Amino acid sequence: MRSRYSAYVLGDVDYLRASWHPATRPAAIDLGKPVNWLGLKIVATHAGGGGDSEGTVEFVARYKVAGRAFRLHEISRFVRQADHWTYFSGTPGRSDSRAKATDD
């Protein structure tokens, strides 16, 4: 999760593509408008250890777009594939947090 966040911060589309599970990876990854990423907080993890084939990471990422602050709260599902963790899917965290403006 942290490496994917770093890839978003750096705009590294190649890494995002390589770390996305082929079954759910979009044909193209468009990072859209310039984003100023402010930080990542891991809220919880479930499974995802050495002997697991799947795991989840709940996180909150803070960012600004055009000077306005937001929070992305997601529960991401990862699947191990050939000894590498790949992002499979994500669902919103608490509904009051997704893309909610903050005062940061």
| Residue pLDDT tens, the chain, 104 long | 899 999 999 999 999 999 999 999 999 999 988 899 999 999 999 999 989 999 999 999 999 999 999 999 999 999 999 889 999 999 998 754 444 444 44
Q: What is the pTM of this model?
A: 0.85
3-state secondary structure of 17: helix
Q: Cβ(2)–Cβ(15) under 8 Å?
A: no
What is the per-residue pLDDT across 13-37, written as a single tens digit (0 to 9) for each? 999 999 999 999 999 999 988 899 9
Q: Per CATH, which fold does 2-101 belong to?
A: Nuclear Transport Factor 2; Chain: A, (3.10.450)
Q: Which residues contact 60 (CB under 8 A, 6 or more apart)?
A: 40, 41, 43, 71, 72, 73, 93, 97
The domain locations on the chain are: 2-101
Residue in the block written with tokens 């589309």: 13
Closest to 62 in 3D by CA, of 36, 44, 43, 86: 36
